[in-house]
A and B are shown apart, each in its own frame.
Chain A
Amino acid sequence: MRTQAPARPAGRLRKWWSGINWRTTAVAYLFMLPALVIIALFVFWPIIYGLPLAFTNYSVVGETRWVGLANFRRLMHDPYFWDALKNSVLYVAVVPVIQIGSIILAVLVNRPLKGVGIFRTAYYLPVVTSSIAAGIAWKWLYDYKGIINAPLLEWGIIDKPIYFLSDNRIALWAVMAMTAWKGFGYYMVIYLAGLQSIPKELEEAAQIDGAGRLGVLRHVTIPLLRPFALIATLMSVMGALRVMEEVLAMTGGGADTNVVALYSYQTAFQHFEFGYGAALGWVMALIIFAFSLVTFRLNKGGFKPE
């Protein structure tokens, strides 16, 4: 036994080594080469280099120095950061709205009705347009004399127009409404895929066993839909925390609507403080990671990859 023990891993290694088809390996890596170079350079390198960058004062002007925790200390006392952080966290409130709305849409368009494709198309339409175009369209709805304000004013429901995008108290919610509208169609499709993956026989079997409509929903549909709900929720939580284009398009970050991603962008590309921007980016990444973990935990037991 004792004499064989060290030989075994070596043997396994040798077996592994001799099992390699070198020609195939070379071909495989040649096929992957362009993609791997690009992904290494533009996906992995930012992850690696972003962290040390956050500890420098890297900027367009001046000499780059290692500044230790200075960026993070500055961040602690930066009121713009705290406002942006508060708004980013508030933005997550859009997630349940999107999820519930898109489940309802998915259930509606999952029926074998004539012309149901037209409705799927209509619900998905906002997804395919750019945030800037959608933002401009919504800005127009929100105009102080626009199609929302005009009738309310005319009928005397309000006596002053609602300044949706410049009133500090409601601007963020007005932008979130646009994000929800733009997201419903996307997540509807995810839930639709979920609903269609449930075998019809299962629901019928439950009905034969005496389950009512609610029973089927509770014991068959919802449990089988959970993996899809987890993915959809995770994606929309990340999306909400990362949001910047919608905010930029509608308010430019004004009226107490700035979010961390946009603030990081402004810091880097408008104030040219790359080091501080990178620090903001990293704090952001940590927050997204934390939220994702929480989402996973809340769905514990629901995620069972086959």
Chain B
Amino acid sequence: MTAHAVKRAGKVRTLVKNTLLYLVMTAIALLMVFPFLWLLSTSFKTASNVYAFPPQMIPNPATLDNYVGVTKMVPIWRYLKNTAIITALGVGLNVLFSTLAAYPLARMRFPGRDIIFGALLSTMIIPNGAGMIVNYMTLRTLRLTDTFLGVVLPSAATIFSIFLLRQAYTTIPKELEEAARIDGAGDLFIWWRIMVPLIRPTLLTVVIFDFMAHWNSFIWPVVVMKSPDNYPLAAGLLYLQGQFSYNFLYLAAGTVISITPMIILFLLLQKYFINGVAGAVKG
């Protein structure tokens, strides 16, 4: 065999190997995405072809009736508004409080720092069994049940975010801070105008994870909210499931409405979602 032929044989082998790899990876990808695709397909079906065999991946005829129907029967838009309020309030508070709290933990020397850091760390190891019950009682004492603030307050400063942000602050060179101090900048100024802009990528990760947590939460809002009118979308689905289990088509349409914003956000920012988990583990 000439050198050329050897090289070509190698190329062919790589090509075959890569093709096989792509096939396997595509098959797995389809399996992972299939439950949602099937639900999406179902949400456009009519009652008469919902159980058609062979199963229809692309509905024929396709209809928007289920979407119209579910929005008429259930206050989906109201749920969507509630979800938006809870998510915005929850993400806003956590980002603000965690960004503030992580800064001195990363960059200042003061008594009690290691104790506070250790105590925060320990809560990740100690499982907290009765948390939901006691937190509900606390909120009742504070007269915050049935309010949006009550839903978000227990997660208005999360230890996960504080760790991620602390890690980001520690990578900033000391000189920047010192130069600003010599120029007479105050602590809040240094934090807000110098530090916060520099940790923007981590901040975005925190925003994303928090957004996901609030958008998807449903048990805790059900506990805090007395009136179903105040439920977020995911909790609304749980409620809908109980009420309309006989009408799966409406339930499918409602579910698609509830996950679409989250999936769009994920597709736009998937790099940050994936790096966020990695960063938290490495951190």
Contact = CB atoms under 8 A, between A and B. Distances in A.
Given A28-B110, A36-B101, A264-B129, A43 B159 contact: yes
B212 A128 contact: yes
A264 B136 CA distance: 14
On chain B, which size bracket covers the interface?
35 or more
A25 B111 contact: yes
A278 B128 CA distance: 10
A278 B133 contact: yes
B60 to A, nearest CB: 16
Interface string A172-212: 00000000010011100110111011000000000000000
Contacts, number: 270
A140 B42 contact: yes
Interface stretch (B5-13, B170-178, B267-275): B267-275
A280 B125 CA distance: 19
B63 interface: no
Interface stretch (A80-88, A90-98, A281-289): A281-289
B238 A32 contact: no
B238 to A, nearest CB: 5
30 contacts: A28-B104, A31-B187, A34-B100, A35-B98, A36-B101, A38-B97, A42-B138, A43-B123, A43-B131, A45-B138, A46-B134, A50-B133, A118-B29, A119-B28, A119-B29, A124-B266, A125-B32, A126-B35, A132-B241, A134-B35, A136-B237, A145-B51, A181-B35, A189-B277, A193-B278, A193-B281, A268-B136, A278-B129, A278-B134, A282-B130
Given A31-B191, A46-B131, A132-B235, 12 more contacts: A28-B113, A32-B104, A35-B162, A39-B157, A46-B133, A50-B128, A121-B267, A124-B266, A125-B36, A151-B53, A190-B281, A285-B128
Interface of B: 18, 21-22, 24-26, 28-29, 32-33, 35-36, 38-39, 42, 51, 53-55, 96-98, 100-101, 103-105, 108-111, 113, 116, 119-120, 123, 125-138, 153-157, 159, 162, 187, 191, 212, 215-219, 223, 234-235, 237-238, 241, 248, 251-252, 255, 258-259, 262-263, 266-267, 270, 273-274, 277-278, 281-282
